[in-house]
Amino acid sequence: MKYLSIVFTFLFISMITPLAAQSFDTEVISAELYNDTIQRTGKLDYKRTLALSFKSTGYLELLKVDEGDQFAKGQLLASLDVTELKEQKNSNYAKLVQAKREVKRLSKLMDANLSSERDLDTAKTEVEVLRAAYQLSSYSLEKAQIYAPFSGVVLSRTTELGELQSPGQTALKIAKLEWVVKVALTGQEVAQIQLGQKASISLSHVGIVEGVISKIPAMAGSNGNLFTIEILLPKIKISAGMIAGQLAAATIAFESNMFVYKLPISALVAVDEVGKAIVIAQTEQSSGFKQYSFEIFQIDNDYVYVKANRNDESLKIMTTGWQNFSEVGK
């Protein structure tokens, strides 16, 4: 009975304890410029890749590079057997020269009224046909070689010596000697970054390197509402242990021109029907706590960032214990 008496006495005292005496924690918050850090895991990739092919038909005779080999801009990478192409070019050239001579001969005969204008027109047409054939054979001979459009590395080789090549058939896939890290961000995060902004990249076998945001897409990709940005690594070339597709940790720090109150997530009482954050706070001018609503700018696992102005006064925010505050829900 003595034990039950103690329990009932405790419950009675709890029921009559004033709200002001109940425990709660507060924190003073001032308006500040919104700054944050985006941390995402992306993938290492080449900035530019290109599939190379011949523009002519022929058998592969020369292959100067293989997978993994590096090359310089303008270097000869591969060549077809050009024997037939040279013969075709020479033959077309000889026919063109002969056709031009025929035009000259018919012109003289026509001046002497020994030939018709029709014969001369036919000869001139033949010259144009043969000129086109000669130009085509010259182009085919020129395009029977593949030269490097930039300095880079061979990613893959899809042909062998002696194989027949057709126009458009990929022979080599190459990449430029520049690395980027591709990172997927939300639309809200993309709106807070800009081209040329610096980023920190962590790579295994390399460490921390500096990057620069080099591409921000205008549209979301096929993976939902995410935007895949590119961070260029200008100070890194081809390095041992670095391969396309390996994971890279990206950190992007930024500061906006938006002033906010940075509220602990524990201070968030609710979000109202129009999306505003409800908190219990006391201003410098007020004598007690009351309920306030703020427009949400950003929210993460630890904080709610609500919009403010540069000269807004500081707030004393109730971070815990607000559940028992009489203004909650009013």
pLDDT in tens, 131-150: 998 888 888 888 889 999 99
pLDDT category at 103 given cuts 50, 70, 90 is: confident
Please identify, among 222, 241, 256, the residue that sits at the C-terminal boundary of a domain.
256
- Residue 66 burial (CB < 10 Å; 0-12/13-18/19+)? exposed
Residues 56 and 173 in one domain: yes
pLDDT in tens, 249-278: 999 987 778 899 999 999 999 999 899 999
Can you say how many angstroms the Cα of residue 193 is from the centroid of all Cα atoms in its chain?
A: 13
Please identify, among 220, 240, 256, the residue that sits at the C-terminal boundary of a domain.
256
Domains of the chain: total: 4
| Alpha-carbon gap, residue 310 to 264, rounded angstroms | 20
Whether 199 maps to a domain, the answer reads yes
Whether 6 maps to a domain, the answer reads no
CATH code (residue 194): 2.40.30.170
User: Going by DSSP bridges, is the β-strand pair 49-53/70-71 parallel, antiparallel, or unpaired?
Assistant: unpaired
Residues 57 and 169 in one domain: yes
Residues 118 and 264 in one domain: no
Look over the chain and give the mean of its residue pLDDT values, rounded to a whole number: 85
Residues 153 and 301 in one domain: no
Question: Which of 9-18, 232-241, 289-298 comes out lowest in average pLDDT?
Answer: 9-18
- If DSSP codes are grouped into helix, strand and coil, which group holds residue 298? strand
Q: Is the confidence at residue 7, as pLDDT, over 80?
A: no
Whether 11 maps to a domain, the answer reads no
Q: Token pair for residue 272?
A: 């109202």
Q: In sequence order, what DSSP letters do the residues of 98-156 get, joined into one string?
A: HHHHHHHHHHHHHHTTSS-HHHHHHHHHHHHHHHHHHHHHHHHHHTTEEE-SSSEEEEE
| Alpha-carbon gap, residue 62 to 55, rounded angstroms | 16
CATH code (residue 284): 2.40.420
Residues 70 and 173 in one domain: yes
**Residues 230, 221 contacting (CB under 8 angstroms):** no
Whether 3 maps to a domain, the answer reads no
* Angle at alpha carbon of residue 176, lines to 80 and 225, rounded to 5°: 120
DSSP H helical ranges for the chain:
2-16, 83-111, 117-142, 187-190
Whether 269 maps to a domain, the answer reads yes
**Full-model pTM:** 0.62
Whether 14 maps to a domain, the answer reads no
Residues 153 and 215 in one domain: no
Range of the domain at 159: 50-79+149-177
| Alpha-carbon gap, residue 73 to 53, rounded angstroms | 16
Q: What does the pLDDT read at residue 247?
A: 94
Q: Helix 117-142 vs helix 83-111: angle between axes, to the nearest 10 degrees?
A: 160
Whether 9 maps to a domain, the answer reads no
Q: What does the pLDDT read at residue 13?
A: 35
Residues 273 and 224 in one domain: no
Whether 309 maps to a domain, the answer reads yes
CATH code (residue 159): 2.40.50.100
